[in-house]
């Protein structure tokens, strides 16, 4: 008869089961070795190589979301560091096929030399001082004394500082293992002294395989659709998945069904949410409002309904962009079948607009004194915006003599141009003086200093040299005067920088290799280059407003205005003002009443 313990007995010994009552699945099936860990292959591979080569650091930092195995990994690491089987294993290793001398006590968190500390309840410097004082003493029976500090980000600043020296140069018998869900709150001085491992969310496929293994061992009947729903609801957390499975087994009396899991998780009404989405996107607003009221009467929170609408909108968008996702277990059957059908009917434009409206509507409903009416108005807005044409489509329809936005009634009579030639039909721009332009690449290759024949050439040279501070100052703060060979006359405005003349003189000397005379005069009244540009733009907008097609758009959208005119074949060049101002801000748009703007 073999003296080796059975698998069940070893698992019971490691987990501490058998002495008490029922143990939840999350504790009963807690991994006992690196071979049992799921979804963390990269970390296991790194640790395996480190132990095999003897490159074992003094500290590890384990981070990740809840339930992915941080504390479990810490205990397995402590077990590997102190693994000992008399006559067989006497060194750290991750190959732990047999139950070692210290294994059961370590995994049950009962070993004298493996100290687990909750940083949430031991946050102060006194706790760390006690730890560092005890760390000097050799372990009582194990190979290493191991400190496992969970939620380490909860330590105070003084506690972190008190830990630094011991962490950087610990005694040979001491190891630290930290675990945290808030890695950004851990000081970089601590992180730099540890090997960091980011534990990933476990994929739905891996979780489903794990759940199948557990229900088989438990002798429980479970439908695959039910396990898929549990895996999706757990959001990559193994502990959450096992807790939900525990609850589902109790809910279904040892039989886990998809319908039972849906009821348990409150997912039974998702089909009605999909019906609501289809009604809204088809413009059946009266039916959609009745459906929302029915959901509300059955206990559904309007905010949660809108959240489900946003979720399904995202699903449909992904199915449209990635059709292969229809075979993924990450989505429920109703999402895959009806979501794929909706993806074929709806355009990306409509889906993107729906996402924006619902997302904004969720915030409105959350703060509304009466959530249901607020949700009703969100649906009304969504239904009427579902088929609204974009500005380019509206321009095309107006140019072709089509209907307006509603599509149900003819648009008001507007003059129709004889031929739909949208942009090229605009009046020619007003002739303007030479604009500062970037010198062509051919000119850059030529030898010799640049040829400057006007003040505009000076500004163009500054732009070519990427001195945008000087460009902005010359365009906005200077009234140009006479320009001669190596002599510039100008008038400075009150807003001019005090060192503008000195900077310009130094720049011209560096760029041309010659000294220039800068004469400052108070008699100049010429407009600045910036004022000249504003005058040209105003003239172009005035001419554009006389165009029949543009007039039709302005009449169709009361309150709209012409922001800019770009002649065909002459793209607008970025100027110093644009680079300095960064364009019109959102606040400026809000101040102007959110008017429609067309360029």
Least reliable range by pLDDT among 219-228, 397-406, 469-478, 494-503: 397-406
Both structure tokens of 325? 């996702």
pLDDT at 423 (0 to 100): 42
**145-150 vs 174-180, strand pairing mode:** parallel
Torsion of CA 135, 137, 143, 149, to 10 degrees: -20
Q: Is 475 helix (H, G, I), strand (E, B) or coil?
A: helix
The three-state (H, E, C) secondary structure of 57-126, written as one string: CCEEEEECCCCCCHHHHHHHHHHHHCCCECCCECCCCCCCCCCCCCHHHHHCCCCCCEEEEECCCCCCHH
Q: Is 300 left (phi over 0), alpha (psi -120 to 50) or beta?
A: beta
Q: Which of 142-146, 224-228, 472-476 has the highest mean pLDDT?
A: 142-146
- Does residue 175 contact residue 147 with C-beta atoms inside 8 Å? yes
Query: Does residue 598 surpass a pLDDT of 70?
Result: no
pLDDT at 579 (0 to 100): 44
Question: Between residues 269 and 444, which one has the greater pLDDT?
Answer: 269
Rounded percentage of the chain residues whose pLDDT exceeds 70: 80
CA distances from 274 to 234, 270, 277, 579 (A): 22, 6, 5, 47
How far is the C-alpha of 17 from the C-alpha of 15, rounded, in Å?
Answer: 5
Delineate the domains of the chain, giving CATH numbers in brackets. 31-198 (3.40.50.300), 204-265 (1.10.8.60), 275-385 (1.20.272.10), 449-599 (no CATH)
- The vertex-188 CA angle with 169 and 160, nearest 5°, equals 60
Look at the block and give the residue holding tokens 């172009």: 540
Least reliable range by pLDDT among 207-211, 261-265, 430-434: 430-434
How far is the C-alpha of 152 from the C-alpha of 178, rounded, in Å?
Answer: 6
Give start and end residues of each alpha helix (H) in 149-203.
157-168, 188-191
How far is the C-alpha of 413 from the C-alpha of 395, rounded, in Å?
Answer: 15
Query: Model confidence at 5, in pLDDT bands (50, 70, 90)?
Result: very low
pLDDT at 410 (0 to 100): 45
Bridge partners for 562 per DSSP:
598
How far is the C-alpha of 24 from the C-alpha of 247, rounded, in Å?
Answer: 10
- Does residue 72 contact residue 55 with C-beta atoms inside 8 Å? no
pLDDT at 182 (0 to 100): 92
Contacts of 505 (CB under 8 A, 6+ apart): 515, 516, 518
Instruction: Concatenate the DSSP letters of all residues of 15-56 into one string.
Output: HTTTSSS---HHHHT---STTT--S-HHHHHHHHHHHHHT--
Query: Does residue 216 surpass a pLDDT of 80?
Result: yes
- Does residue 47 contact residue 64 with C-beta atoms inside 8 Å? no
Number of other residues whose CB lies within 10 A of the CB of residue 67: 23
Give start and end residues of each alpha helix (H) in 298-390.
302-321, 333-345, 348-367, 371-385
pLDDT at 422 (0 to 100): 46
pLDDT at 3 (0 to 100): 38
Query: Does residue 123 surpass a pLDDT of 70?
Result: yes
Query: Which H or E run includes 458?
Result: helix 455-464
- Does residue 123 contact residue 156 with C-beta atoms inside 8 Å? yes
Least reliable range by pLDDT among 265-274, 516-525, 531-540, 584-593: 584-593
Number of other residues whose CB lies within 10 A of the CB of residue 314: 15
Q: Which of 12-21, 168-177, 337-346, 488-497 has the highest mean pLDDT?
A: 168-177
Contacts of 321 (CB under 8 A, 6+ apart): 348
Query: Model confidence at 438, in pLDDT bands (50, 70, 90)?
Result: very low
| Sign of the dihedral through C-alpha 471, 476, 478, 483 | positive
pLDDT in tens, 364-386: 999 999 999 999 999 999 988 86
Query: Does residue 333 surpass a pLDDT of 80?
Result: no
Least reliable range by pLDDT among 297-301, 346-350, 429-433, 527-531: 429-433
Look at the block and give the residue holding tokens 């010994």: 13
pLDDT in tens, 36-92: 888 888 899 999 999 988 899 999 999 999 999 999 999 999 999 999 988 887 889
- Does residue 211 contact residue 103 with C-beta atoms inside 8 Å? no
How far is the C-alpha of 170 from the C-alpha of 176, rounded, in Å?
Answer: 9
Phi, psi (degrees; rounded to nearest 5) at 310 = -65, -40
Both structure tokens of 364? 């409105």
pLDDT at 497 (0 to 100): 87
Question: Between residues 252 and 442, which one has the greater pLDDT?
Answer: 252
> Closest by alpha carbon to 242, among 23, 42, 39?
23
Bridge partners for 178 per DSSP:
61, 149
pLDDT at 467 (0 to 100): 87
- Does residue 279 contact residue 288 with C-beta atoms inside 8 Å? yes
Query: Model confidence at 546, in pLDDT bands (50, 70, 90)?
Result: confident
Query: Model confidence at 316, in pLDDT bands (50, 70, 90)?
Result: very high
Is pTM beyond 0.85? Reply is no
Radius of gyration of the chain (CA): 36
pLDDT at 561 (0 to 100): 83
- Does residue 71 contact residue 150 with C-beta atoms inside 8 Å? yes
């Amino acid at each position: 008869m073999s003296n080796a313990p059975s698998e069940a007995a070893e698992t019971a010994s490691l987990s501490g089961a058998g002495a008490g009552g029922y143990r939840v699945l999350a504790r009963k099936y807690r991994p006992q070795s690196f071979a049992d860990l799921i979804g963390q292959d990269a970390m296991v591979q790194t640790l395996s190589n480190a132990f095999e080569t003897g490159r074992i650091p003094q500290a590890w930092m384990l981070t990740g979301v809840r339930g992915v195995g941080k504390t479990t990994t810490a205990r397995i690491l402590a077990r590997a560091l102190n693994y000992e089987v008399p006559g067989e294993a006497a060194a750290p290793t991750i190959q732990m096929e047999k139950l070692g001398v210290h294994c059961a006590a370590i995994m049950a968190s009962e070993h004298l030399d493996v100290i687990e500390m909750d940083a949430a309840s031991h946050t102060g410097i006194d706790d760390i001082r006690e730890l560092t004082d005890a760390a000097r003493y050799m372990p009582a029976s194990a190979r290493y004394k191991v400190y496992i500090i969970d939620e380490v980000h909860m330590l105070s600043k003084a506690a972190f500082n008190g830990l630094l020296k011991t962490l950087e140069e610990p005694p040979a018998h001491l190891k630290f293992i930290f675990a945290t869900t808030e890695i950004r709150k851990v000081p970089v001085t601590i992180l730099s002294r540890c090997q960091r491992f980011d534990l990933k969310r476990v994929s739905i496929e891996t979780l489903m395989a794990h759940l199948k293994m557990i229900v088989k061992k438990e002798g429980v009947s479970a439908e695959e659709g039910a396990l898929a729903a549990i895996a999706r609801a757990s959001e990559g957390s193994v502990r959450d998945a096992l807790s939900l499975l525990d609850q589902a087994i109790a809910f279904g009396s040892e039989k886990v069904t998809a319908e039972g899991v849906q009821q348990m998780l409150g997912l039974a009404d998702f089909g009605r949410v999909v019906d609501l989405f289809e009604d809204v996107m088809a413009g059946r607003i009266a039916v959609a409002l009745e459906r929302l009221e029915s959901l509300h009467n059955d206990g559904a929170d309007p905010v949660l309904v809108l959240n489900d609408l946003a979720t399904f909108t995202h699903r449909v968008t992904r199915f449209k962009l990635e059709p292969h996702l229809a075979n993924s277990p990450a989505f429920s059957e109703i999402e895959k079948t009806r979501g794929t059908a909706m993806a074929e009917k709806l355009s990306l434009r409509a889906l993107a607009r729906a996402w924006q409206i619902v997302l904004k509507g969720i915030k409105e409903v959350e703060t509304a004194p009466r959530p249901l009416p607020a949700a009703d108005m969100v649906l009304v807005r969504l239904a009427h915006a579902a088929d609204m044409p974009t500005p380019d489509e509206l321009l095309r329809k107006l140019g072709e003599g089509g209907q307006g936005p509603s599509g149900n009634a003819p648009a008001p009579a507007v003059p129709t141009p004889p031929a739909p030639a949208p942009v090229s039909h605009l009046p020619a721009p007003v002739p303007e003086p030479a604009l500062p332009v970037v010198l062509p690449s051919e000119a850059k290759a030529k030898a010799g200093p640049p040829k400057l024949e006007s003040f505009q050439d000076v500004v163009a040279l500054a732009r070519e040299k990427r001195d945008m501070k000087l460009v902005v100052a010359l365009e906005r703060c200077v009234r140009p005067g006479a320009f001669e060979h190596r002599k510039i006359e100008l008038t400075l405005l009150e807003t001019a920088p005090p060192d503008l003349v000195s900077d310009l003189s130094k720049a011209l000397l560096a760029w041309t290799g010659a000294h220039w005379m800068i004469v400052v005069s108070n008699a100049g009244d010429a407009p600045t280059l910036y004022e000249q540009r504003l005058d040209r733009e105003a003239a172009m907008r005035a001419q554009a407003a006389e165009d029949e097609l543009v007039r039709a758009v302005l009449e169709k959208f009361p309150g709209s205005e012409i922001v800019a005119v770009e002649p065909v074949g002459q793209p607008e060049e970025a100027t110093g003002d644009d680079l300095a101002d960064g364009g019109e801000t959102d606040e400026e748009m809000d101040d102007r009443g959110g008017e429609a703007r067309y360029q």
